[in-house]
Chains A and B, each alone.
Chain A
Amino acid sequence: MSYLRPKFRHPLLPTNDHGYTTTDYEGSLSTLCAGCGHDSISAAIVQACFEINIEPHMVAKLSGIGCSSKTPAYFLGNSHGFNTVHGRMPSVATGANLANRDLIYLGVSGDGDTASIGMGQFVHAVRRNLNMVYIVMNNGCYGLTKGQDSATADMGSKSKAGSVNPFESIDLCGLALELGASFVGQSFSGDKDQLIPLIKAAINHKGFAFLNVLSPCVTFNNNVGSTKSYDFVREHMEATATMDFVPLSTEITATYAEGTTTSIPMHDGSLVHLQKLAEGWEPGDRLSAIQALQHARMESKVLTGLIYYSPEGHELHDVLNSSVRPLNTLSQQELCPGAAKLSGMNAELR
């Protein structure tokens, strides 16, 4: 087994505005199982960051514990990283974000890390509208401990050993919508054409951007009867819309058929272009999003693409009115205004 990737690269690799190639966004060689969906998501993150010209040192990647949470080692090798305690990634992300709002916060978690041990943390990060991207690499099982059903395994889904899951699954997108997330998307690791623009838009979104990405576990959950296998997801995928993310700096060159397309401006003037496929679904209407999700669920379909998006809303910093500048750039004087100021504050409280 190889633990190092050869250093040679294609001599004609495209470069982005910073002169970087995708190589500059790669991490070390993955040690996940061959064919793991998580590796595809890592590659999609690399491609998305490359395409929207992110400077790797402006990203903080955070994760919990699990197969999914190993992946930050395999992408953005030149970015900041924090591998937290199981399920505690949202707390660390919140702390880091409050200390320095200039960075892009990219949280990576799994179905266990989010829907089981980390559920208590996850829901609060959503309801506070913390400005971050939260990607769940959702394979419906505990791959690291030999594939037991996780809380997102669908009722009736069959495990590799043949047992059928008797419990209701947690629909993470539905939950995020319920808790007021301002950007909710769902995708599939095997569909990079959809996943990459979703990640790009999620990174550009100001507020909590949630992406639930179905990611087959090739070792423990890619069997016939599983609802998280490559074959099942491919056969049951239904997209809300095809989507393009058009950054602010880019001239719009693509042409779209009239009537079926919508362009939604993001906070900075970038555009999300949608070519709608689902009937009655409006990207900015939470009720229609919930309905579309429930509808798909009843039909054993997997609804993918952008589920809900609202450019409005206040992220946590706006609500708390916290420091615009990162704490590490504040001077001693600003951080510690002195005894006289303290006395004044104390006096106000008397």
Chain B
Amino acid sequence: MQPTNTKDPEYYHKVVDCQYACPAHTPVPEYIRLIAAEKYTEAYMVNWESNVFPGVLGRTCDRPCEPACRRVRVEEEPVAICRLKRVAADNKGDLSEYIPQGPFPSNGKKIALIGGGPASLTVARDLAPLGYELHLFDEQPAGGGMMRTQIPSFRLPIAVLEEEVGFILNMGIHTQFLTYVDSLKSVIDKDYDVVFVGTGAPRGRNLSIPGRDEAAAHIHIGIDWLQSVAYEHTSSIGKNVIVLGGGNTAMDCCRTARRLGGEHVKVLVRSPFKEMKASPWEKEDAMHEDIPILDNHVPVSFVHENGRLTGMMFEIVHAVYDDNGKRSLVPTGEPHVFIPADDVLIAIGQENSFPWIERDLGMEFDKWDMPVVDEKTYQSTIPKVFFGGDAAFGPKNIITAVAQAHQAAISIDLYCKGTALTDRPHPMVNLVSQKMGIHEWSYDSMVTIDQRFIVPLADKKLTLCNRKMEVELGFDVATAWKEAERCLNCDIQTVFREPLCIECDACVDICPTACITFTANGTDAELRSRLKAPAQNLTQDLLVSDLLPTKRIMVKDEDVCLHCGLCAERCPTAAWDMQLFSYNTAKAGA
């Protein structure tokens, strides 16, 4: 193998598994250290800069960082990254010194933001301090988009949302709420330099099976129903409720139904339980509230009597996989099952919907009738129209919307400056030794073996009768410190400098997880088989040195390195050093 090019910032970035997995690349270990140091405001700001909604995401994020957490590879549970983020938000101090405060000197450019959700708000936050004049349109009475309408208050208190939306809108954004934009042409025709579309995926999928139309009065589309609950247009539901669907919206629907009078709420899902789209913790939360999840049930029909819904028929299936792992749901042949219900909530997916975009504007649409959007620049085929969030590439999650919106904001800024959109700013990276003394590091290198701490919940009796009472109480600061200590500080890199190495083997002998081997060179696949412990995780790279005086190379398998710093402590010549790697994705104006 060739020596690893650690000059490429992506090499060390990949080692920081959580940050690498995060769509917005939030520097996770950095803010966890700040939480451990009780610097909650600073920890909040690290988040705010990167993901814009730390308080919201600390409660509702899909947490792609957690399955990626290195800890999963040496024990069972990842660091509770998401809930630590909430600790920073819950305990932060006054932010007025930190958050940019307008009015900002104008740069003379005017931008329309259509939709008031996470994507548009992120673009607004990134561009407002640069002097852009931003006009935000939304049909809702307040900002926040799906964060306000689809996430129930028992998961996300409205005050948390309002504060973070407020930080942005208070930067001098011109808001036009209760304004449904029904024509893109009308916006383009005005004097905006750029139009950004962040309208999300606002249409819940319907289920057209027999009885749907006849019993329509008691069949609701999940996200519409959640929105209606959020705006207090709906305040009750029948005693027996069926929720169809296996995603997070289904979980929000069933838990909301429990709070509006649903006594027997069931979730029915076509797929096997373990393949449901909902996050494991959301399924647990639903089951904790006495909501059974019945898997392998395919809806057959809505059953109704005299125009009133009485229940649903389901066919029982099981999953069969072909050689390519493709799943098909095959009926088991058992008789259909009837499940009684007073109301049914359909939460089987969401779609984009652009009835308000005229098709004769010159904007190209693909075969699924979705606008063609560039995957890097987020520009549509009309140069001054940009997309971001669910509106760009279909429904994902808040953190993805934020990440896409950062990129769209960069593009918009470049576009307004007349620079090529492909000439994008590079991430800000740095690598600094953490050596404090002969064998001392500036970070807490001791690896704790504590198991993941559990976030306490409010009493179920109380939360089930109050839709607005938050269920999760969040970590107290003492538990937060213990949980923060579980972080392995993967951003403190093991940097190897071969000219200093005397090949004493001290690092090989001390490494608790057998990561380091000095051996003859070979190919990647072949080297992986003859290391001290086999390197079978191909998603993790090998750090390979140049040839050493004994004609061997140093190979370090990054897979289960604990970043404990022992290799560097035992290194007599500081050929190994622990260096803090910081990686901040570029924002607009960089």
Contact = CB atoms under 8 A, between A and B. Distances in A.
B316 interface: no
Contacts of B194: none
A234 B551 CA distance: 12
Main secondary structure of the interface of B (DSSP, over half): loop
A4 interface: yes
Contact of B440 (A1, A4, A7, A11): A1
A347 to B, nearest CB: 62
Contacts of A1: 438-440, 569
A18 interface: no
A230 B510 contact: no
A129 to B, nearest CB: 32
Interface string B384-407: 000000000000000000000000
Contacts of A95: none
Interface in B556-575: 560, 562, 564-566, 569-573
B70 to A, nearest CB: 10
Given A35-B573, A190-B505, 8 more contacts: A1-B438, A1-B569, A6-B513, A13-B533, A35-B571, A37-B504, A190-B503, A218-B572
A40 B505 contact: yes
A34 interface: yes
Interface residues of B, number: 38
B73 A11 contact: yes
Contact of B506 (A4, A11, A35, A234): A35
A288 B73 CA distance: 54
B75 interface: yes
Contacts of A40: 504-506, 509
Contacts of B506: 34-36, 39-40
A218 B536 CA distance: 35
A300 to B, nearest CB: 19
A9 B569 contact: no
A247 B509 CA distance: 24
27 contacts: A2-B566, A2-B569, A4-B446, A6-B449, A7-B449, A7-B512, A8-B74, A8-B75, A8-B449, A9-B74, A10-B533, A10-B560, A11-B74, A30-B570, A33-B572, A34-B439, A34-B569, A35-B504, A35-B571, A35-B572, A35-B573, A36-B506, A190-B504, A216-B504, A218-B502, A222-B572, A234-B549
A10 B566 contact: no
Given A9-B513, A39-B510, A190-B504, A2 B560 contact: no
B550 interface: yes
Interface string A1-31: 1101111111111100000001000000110
Interface in B297-349: none
Nearest to A40: B505
5 A-B pairs closest in CB distance = A35-B572, A6-B447, A43-B509, A1-B439, A10-B533
A1 B514 CA distance: 20
Interface string B62-92: 0000000000011100000000000000000
A8 B562 contact: yes
A345 B512 CA distance: 60
Looking at B75, B508, B512, B560, the one whose CB has the most chain A CB atoms below 10 A away is B512
Interface in A230-284: 230-231, 234
A3 to B, nearest CB: 10
A192 interface: yes
